[in-house]
């Protein structure tokens, strides 16, 4: 509880400092609106699209794609990491291709995904998946490889099946490292979703930014950016809460 309160205070202070410098730049420094709209103009633009329902349509679309890509990337990352740690010979064959796929710049792959999978939702989810998969995979590999050998002996002594051993021992033990990768993947997922909507799409926060930029509606552009930041913070906080619930045993153990 104390850690959550401290994090909330940190976020609030950071937001307050940002708002102060933003107000100072648009007030006393009098930067032109087309360069930097004031917080009040941005807020008014945000309220306007919220009241018309346009904001929730774009926000819902982006959030939907992020959640789907996160779930798919998480499942695939954990599954492949587990297979590679269970079968070291297979890891030799898969390690190289996986690294090559990860080093390919995603901003260059995004247009290819549009060509291959079309302008619809599928190309966007695949891009998000490609960004989420590797951080989760790396975290899961680290978690599975650091499993205490005594726990494996215990599972054999108890006569646990492979599925029971995975669910009751291996996966819980690897969860701290998996959540590290998942939090990184969540940030990447948000970036991927916005990038995909920039490339192709008629809905989403990324599209809203493109539309606002093309029509020189700077307050709307900043409102869309602000909502993206808020969405990123919400994802981070949500994952932190889930991590705290799932890993409560770790805190009890350390205590």
Q: pLDDT tens across 142-155, in order?
A: 888 887 777 777 77
Question: Where do the DSSP E strands lie in the chain?
Answer: none
Q: What is the pTM of this model?
A: 0.81
Q: pLDDT tens across 138-189, in order?
A: 888 888 888 777 777 777 777 777 777 888 778 888 888 888 889 988 988 8
Apex 8 CA angle, 254 and 13, nearest 5 = 130
Percent of the chain with pLDDT over 70: 86
Report the alpha-carbon distance of residue 132 to residue 125 in Å, rounded: 10
Q: pLDDT tens across 111-125, in order?
A: 777 777 777 788 888
First to last CA, the chain: 14
Q: Please provide the average confidence, as pLDDT, over all residues in the chain.
A: 81
Q: Which helix H or strand E contains 179, and what residues bound it? A: helix 171-199
- Lowest-pLDDT choice from 89-93, 176-180, 199-203: 89-93
Q: pLDDT tens across 63-77, in order?
A: 999 999 999 999 999
């Amino acid at each position: 509880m104390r850690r959550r309160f401290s994090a909330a205070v940190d976020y609030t202070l950071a937001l307050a400092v940002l708002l102060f410098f933003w107000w100072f730049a648009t007030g006393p420094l009098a930067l032109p609106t087309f360069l930097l709209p004031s917080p009040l103009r941005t807020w008014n633009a945000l309220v306007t699209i919220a009241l018309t329902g346009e904001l929730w349509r774009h926000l819902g679309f982006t959030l939907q794609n992020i959640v789907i890509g996160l779930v798919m990337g998480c499942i695939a990352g954990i599954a492949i990491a587990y297979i590679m740690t269970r079968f070291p010979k297979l890891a030799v064959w898969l390690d190289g291709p996986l690294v090559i796929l990860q080093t390919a710049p995603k901003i260059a792959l995004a247009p290819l995904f549009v060509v291959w999978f079309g302008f619809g939702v599928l190309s966007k989810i695949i891009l998000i998946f490609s960004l989420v998969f590797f951080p989760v995979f790396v975290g899961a590999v680290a978690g599975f490889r650091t499993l205490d050998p005594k726990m494996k002996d215990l599972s054999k002594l108890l006569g646990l099946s492979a599925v029971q051993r995975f669910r009751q021992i291996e996966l819980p033990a690897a969860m701290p490292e998996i959540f590290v990768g998942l939090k990184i993947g969540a940030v990447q997922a948000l970036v991927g979703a916005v990038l995909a909507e920039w490339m192709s799409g008629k809905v989403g926060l990324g599209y809203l930014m493109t539309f606002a930029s093309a029509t020189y509606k700077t307050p709307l552009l900043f409102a869309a950016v602000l909502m993206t930041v808020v969405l990123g913070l919400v994802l981070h906080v949500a994952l932190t809460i889930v991590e705290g619930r799932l890993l409560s045993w770790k805190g009890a153990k350390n205590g």
